[in-house]
A = this chain, B = another copy of it.
Amino acid sequence: MKLALRHIEAFLAVAEHGNFSTASRHLHVAQPALSQAVKDLEAELGVRLFDRTTRRVELTAAGLEFQGSTSKILEDLEHAVENVRDLATRRRGRIRVAAPPLLSSVILPQAIAAFHRDYPGVAIELIDIGTEEIVASVVTGKADCGLGTFSPSEEGIERTLLMRDNLMMFCSPEHPAHDLTTVAWSELRDQPLIALTRTSGIRLLMDIGIESAGISAKPAFEVSLITTALALVEADLGVSVLPSYALAAARHYAVIARPLVDPVISRDVVLIHASGRSISPAVATFSGVLRSYAQKLTPAQGVAENSSRKPRTTSS
C-alpha cells in the first residue's frame, strides 16, 4: 500500500466537515470511496484517525495532530503548484534580455512597455552590453535571450529573425545629399564621418562598406552613443552610417537618411536564446511581442528622412 494525496485530501475533508457524507459531496466522490480511503490511510499509518459511530465522527488525538500538520502541508503544496503555474501563465517570471545600446533604446523600450502592460508580474531586466558579449551572456545563462546581429559561426544559440535592414547614411537636411535617392559608399569619400566606436557591430559593418568601396574614410568623430552621433549629424558636423531602424531613435532630431548602395550592406537583427535550454513561457511570449514590434519598424526600411520634424517627402 502506498500513501497518496487522495488519502490526505480525503482525511482532511472528513476532518473538516465532521462527517463522511458532506465531505464526499464536497470532493465529488461517492461516500464509500471516502470510507475506503480513510480506512486505507489508517491502515497505512497504523493509527485510528477518527472515532466514528454511524452518528458521530470526530478526530482522535492522533487524527488531530495529523490534521494540523497535513493541512498546512497541503496548503503549501497548493501554493507551490500555484506559483509554478504563475510562471506558465506569465503572471510571474523574469526575463533578462541582453541587447546592444542601439537596440536597447529603439525597439526594446516599446516592446517592454507593451509586454509589461499585458504581463505586469513579469520582471524584465535589460542588460545593455556590447554585441560581442551578448552571445556569451545567453550561452552562459546570464541572460535568457539576446538581441543583435551575430556571425553565423556562433554556436550554442538558436536564432529568430526579427528584422532585416540595410545601412543608411544619416545627414543634416541641409547636406548636399538631401536630394539624392540613394548614396553610394564611394560618395562618403572626403566626408567627415561620425562613427561609432569599434566595439559596435554597426561600426564593423561600416568599415566593411568603406573598404569595399575602395575608399579610406577616416572618422572625424568617434562616439559610443547613437544619440551623440545624431546630435552631431544634426549640427551638420558630418554624416553617419547607421541601420535604418535608427530612424526611430532619430525622430527627435532634424536629420535625414539615405540608403547606402554599392554595396547594399544588410544586417539581420535576430533574437537569440541558448540552444538546448528551454525558453520560459515569458520569454516565448516576449519574443512574439518583439517580433511584432520589429515588423512595425521594418516598413521604415527605405524611408529616407525624419518626416515628423521635416515634413518633406522624398521619392522612395
Residues of A within 8 A of B (CB): 3-6, 8, 45-48, 51, 53, 56, 60-62, 65-66, 69-70, 72-73, 76-77, 79-81, 83-85, 87-89, 94, 276-278, 280-281
Contact = CB atoms under 8 A, between A and B. Distances in A.
A276 B51 contact: yes
B280 A84 contact: no
B70 A77 contact: yes
A81 to B, nearest CB: 7
A116 B272 CA distance: 69
Given A46-B89, A62-B87, A72-B76, 18 more contacts: A8-B77, A46-B281, A47-B84, A47-B87, A47-B281, A51-B277, A56-B276, A60-B277, A60-B280, A61-B87, A61-B280, A62-B84, A69-B83, A70-B77, A70-B80, A73-B73, A73-B76, A73-B80
Nearest to A48: B278
A84 B77 CA distance: 20
Chain copies in complex: 2
Contact of A84 (B45, B84, B88): B45
A3 B3 contact: no
A27 to B, nearest CB: 12
B66 A84 contact: yes
Give the interface SS of chain A, mostly helix, strand, loop or mixed.
helix
A253 B69 CA distance: 52
A149 B57 CA distance: 30
Interface centre among A46, A79, A94 (most CB of B within 10 A): A46
Contacts of A83: 65, 69
Contacts of A76: 69, 72-73, 76
Contact of A81 (B45, B77, B89): B45
A155 to B, nearest CB: 15
Contacts of A62: 84, 87-88, 280
Given A51-B278, A53-B276, A85 B45 contact: yes
Contact of A3 (B81, B87, B276): B81
Given A51-B277, A73-B73, A84 B56 contact: no
Nearest to A80: B69
Contacts of A51: 276-278
Interface centre among A4, A51, A65, A84 (most CB of B within 10 A): A84
9 contacts: A3-B5, A45-B88, A47-B88, A48-B278, A61-B87, A65-B84, A69-B76, A70-B80, A73-B73
A80 to B, nearest CB: 4
A70 B81 CA distance: 9
A81 B3 CA distance: 10
Interface centre among A47, A72, A79 (most CB of B within 10 A): A47
